[in-house]
Amino acid sequence: MKATTTPSTSTPVAHNALPPPSATSTARSSRIAPHSHIKGLGLTAEGIAAPDGAGFIGQTNAREACGVVVDLIKSRKFSGRALLLVGAPGTGKTALALAVSHELGAKVPFCPMVGSEVYSTEVKKTEVLAEAFRRAIGLRIKETKEVYEGEVTELTPTESENPLSGYGKTVSHVIVGLKTVKGTKQLRLDPTIYEAILKEKIVVGDVIYVEANTGAVKRVGRSDAYASSYDLESETYVPLPKGDVHKRKELVQDVTLGDLDAANARPQGGQDIMSVMGSLMKSGRTEVTDKLRREVNKVVKGYVDQGVAEVVPGVVFIDEVHMLDIECFTYLNALLESAMAPTVILATNRGNALVRGTTDVVSPHGIPVDLLDRCLIVKTDGYKPEQIAKVVQLRANIEGLKLGSGVLERIAEEGERGSMRYALQLLSPASILAGLAGRSQIEVEDIAEMNELFLDAKTSASNIGADGGFDGGRMS
Ligand SMILES: Nc1ncnc2c1ncn2[C@@H]1O[C@H](COP(=O)(O)OP(=O)(O)OP(=O)(O)O)[C@@H](O)[C@H]1O
Ligand SMILES: [Mg+2]
C-alpha cells in the first residue's frame, strides 16, 4: 500500500486510510428528526384548526379534514376505506400522517412504511404489505398470573464446577431476594432466568416480577427508596410492591398480530400466549404462511371471546404510494376489505402518472382508479412566506439556532422560491457557515453565501439547457 507522510505528523499514514476515531465522534449528539416539532393536528374540541397549533402552521383545511378522519377512525366508521394525502413536495403530507397517529394515542399501533419497501429479493411484495397490516393491529392482553414480585435485595449467582467441560465454572443457580411491604422471600432460580436478569440489566434495588410458570422476568422500574441518589436519570421509580412476594397479579401487555405471527413462525411449544412473547427476542426470519396467520387469528379470536384480550386496530401509513405496482394495488384492495383491517393512510406527491407495472395505464397520482375510489382524498396546499417563516422559527428553536435580524424573511423568500423543505434545509448548513465565521448567530450573509454554494431544485432545473445537459454536455 502506498504510504504518504503528512507534514503535520511524523508517522506514515496509509493514503486512503480512515481517520482515527476522534473522541468527539463517539459523543455525537443524536440526529434531530425533521418532524419532531409536530405534536398533533392542533384542533379545537369542535374540530376547528387554529392558524397554528401543536407545531402545525397553516394548512388548516387539510388539518381539519384529517381531524374528521381521526373522529371516524375513533368511532370505527372508517373501515374498507383509506385516507390519501396528495400535494406538492414539502407541503407537510408526512407531517400530517404523523400528526394523525399522535391524535390516535400512543398505545395505538402505527406502522409507517415507504412504497419502495415492498421490493425485496427475499420476500414477496404482497407478503411485505400483509406483514405491515398485521403489525398495525394491536392486541391488549389481560391475564392473571402467578408471580413473584418485589424489590431485589440480593442477587447472587452460585457457581459450581462443571463436570462436563474441562475448564471454568458455570452458574448452577441464582439466589434472588425479593422484598415487599409485607415481607421478604428468597428464591433459588434456574440459570436461564439469571441470563434473563442480566439481559434486563437488573440490579439490587430494582422492582421486578418473575412469572411463576414461565420464568419470564420483567423489570418494573427502580424502587423509589433509591430515588434521591439518582436525580438526573430518566428512570421510572415505582413504590415498593404491596402484598406478599408470591401472589396473583393482573398483567397487561400490548402486542401486535405481527409479533404473534413472527413468534409462532418458530414453534416453541406451549399454548400460552404470553410465553410465546419470550421467543420474540430470538432472531431469525421464517416464512409466515397464510395458514399460520389463520391459526393465530383463531387463537386470538378465542382470547377475545373469553374477554382476555382486546383488539386495538392501528394505522398503516404508506408514504410515496406511487412506488407500489399494480399487483400491490390489487392486493391492497383486498386487504382493505378483509375482516380485520387497520386504518390505511397513503401519501403521494405525483400528479397523473403511469401505474407501475403497467405500460399504458395512466391515472391520477399513479394509483389505479378502483383504489382511488376507496380513498378519501385530502390535498395539502403551498405556503405563504410568513407561514414558512413561522415553521423555520419553530425548527430553529428546536435545533437551538439563533437567527439574526432579517434572516427569517430571507429564508422565507428562499422557501417561496424553492420549497418549505429547502427553507428548512438551509438552517443547518447556514449555522455551520456562521460557525466558521466565528459567529453564534446566523446572519443574512450566511444565507447569501448558501445560495452561491447550493442550488434549490427549481434553480438547478432551470440551469439545465434545452438539450438536457450542462453547457452542451449531455447527462445520461
Ligand atoms: N404546516 C406545517 N407546519 C409545520 N411544519 C411543517 C408544515 N408543513 C411541513 N412542515 C415541515 O416541513 C418539512 C417537509 O414536510 P413533509 O416531509 O411532511 O413534506 P411532504 O409533503 O411529505 O413532502 P414529500 O412529498 O417530498 O414527501 C418537514 O420537516 C415538516 O415537518
Ligand atoms: Mg413525505
| Nearest-atom index, ligand 1, CA of 348 | 25
More confident residue, 6 or 465: 465
pLDDT band at 165 (very low <50, low <70, confident <90, very high): low
User: CA of 241: how far to CAs of 152, 178, 193, 197, 244, in Å?
Assistant: 11, 10, 21, 19, 8
How far apart are alpha carbons 190 and 188 in whole angstroms?
7
Ligand 1 centre to CA of 373 (Å) is 26
Query: Does pLDDT of 121 surpass 60?
Result: yes
60 ligand 1 Cβ < 6 A: no
176 ligand 1 Cβ < 6 A: no
More confident residue, 399 or 206: 206
Residue 420, sorted as left (phi over 0), alpha (psi -120 to 50) or beta, turns out to be alpha
pLDDT tens digits for range 208-249: 988 888 888 888 888 887 776 555 556 678 888 888 888 888
Q: What is the β-pairing status of strands 217-223 and 169-179?
A: unpaired
Q: Are 381 and 372 in contact (CB under 8 A)?
A: no
pLDDT tens digits for range 336-359: 888 778 899 999 998 898 999 888
Of all protein residues, the one whose alpha carbon is nearest to atom 16 of ligand 1 is 92
Closest CA relative to residue 99, chosen from 58, 131, 137, 54: 54
pLDDT number for residue 7? 43
Read off the C-alpha cell for 458: 427549481
More confident residue, 160 or 281: 160
User: CA of 36: how far to CAs of 57, 349, 392, in Å?
Assistant: 14, 22, 13
348 ligand 1 Cβ < 6 A: no
Ligand 1 centre to CA of 116 (Å) is 20
pLDDT number for residue 166? 62
pLDDT number for residue 167? 65
Closest CA relative to residue 38, chosen from 58, 63, 55, 52: 55
pLDDT band at 26 (very low <50, low <70, confident <90, very high): very low
- Identify the three-state secondary structure at position 368: coil
Ligand 1 centre to CA of 273 (Å) is 41
% pLDDT > 90, the chain: 13
Question: In the chain, what are the domains?
Answer: 52-137+289-379 (3.40.50.300), 143-252 (2.40.50.360), 385-463 (1.10.8.60)
Query: Does pLDDT of 307 surpass 90?
Result: no
Arithmetic mean of pLDDT, 303-321: 89
421 ligand 1 Cβ < 6 A: yes
Query: Does pLDDT of 83 surpass 90?
Result: yes
Query: Does pLDDT of 160 surpass 60?
Result: yes
Q: H or E element: which one contains 94?
A: helix 93-104
pLDDT band at 9 (very low <50, low <70, confident <90, very high): very low
pLDDT tens digits for range 449-464: 887 888 777 778 887 7
| Neighbour count for residue 270 (Cβ, 10 Å) | 13
Arithmetic mean of pLDDT, 32-58: 82
Distance of alpha carbon 446 from its chain centroid, rounded? Answer: 34
Q: What is the β-pairing status of strands 137-161 and 206-211?
A: antiparallel
Distance between start and end Cα atoms, the chain: 35
pLDDT band at 50 (very low <50, low <70, confident <90, very high): confident
Ligand 2 centre to CA of 4 (Å) is 46
% pLDDT > 70, the chain: 83
Read off the C-alpha cell for 100: 394523525
pLDDT number for residue 24? 38
> Under 8 Å CB-to-CB from 288, ≥6 apart: which residues?
127, 131, 261, 262, 265
411 ligand 1 Cβ < 6 A: no
pTM above 0.75, yes or no: no
Ligand 1 centre to CA of 221 (Å) is 37
Arithmetic mean of pLDDT, 106-121: 87
Arithmetic mean of pLDDT, 68-94: 89
- For a mutational test of ligand 1's pocket, the pick from 31, 32, 35, i.e. the residue with the most ligand atoms closer than 8 A to its C-beta, is 35
How far apart are alpha carbons 213 and 270 in whole angstroms?
11
Radius of gyration of the chain (CA): 28
Q: Which backbone phi and psi does 408 adopt, to 5 degrees?
A: -60, -45
pLDDT band at 25 (very low <50, low <70, confident <90, very high): very low
Provide the mean pLDDT of the chain.
80
Strand partners, 159: 171
Query: Does pLDDT of 381 surpass 60?
Result: yes
Closest CA relative to residue 391, chosen from 97, 92, 100: 92
- The DSSP output letter for 28 is P
| Neighbour count for residue 455 (Cβ, 10 Å) | 14
pLDDT number for residue 276? 53
How far apart are alpha carbons 257 and 296 in whole angstroms?
8
Q: H or E element: which one contains 411?
A: helix 407-417
Nearest 10 degrees: Cα torsion 29, 33, 37, 38: -150
pLDDT band at 67 (very low <50, low <70, confident <90, very high): very high
Q: Are 106 and 238 in contact (CB under 8 A)?
A: no
pLDDT number for residue 469? 66
Closest CA relative to residue 79, chosen from 437, 342, 369: 342
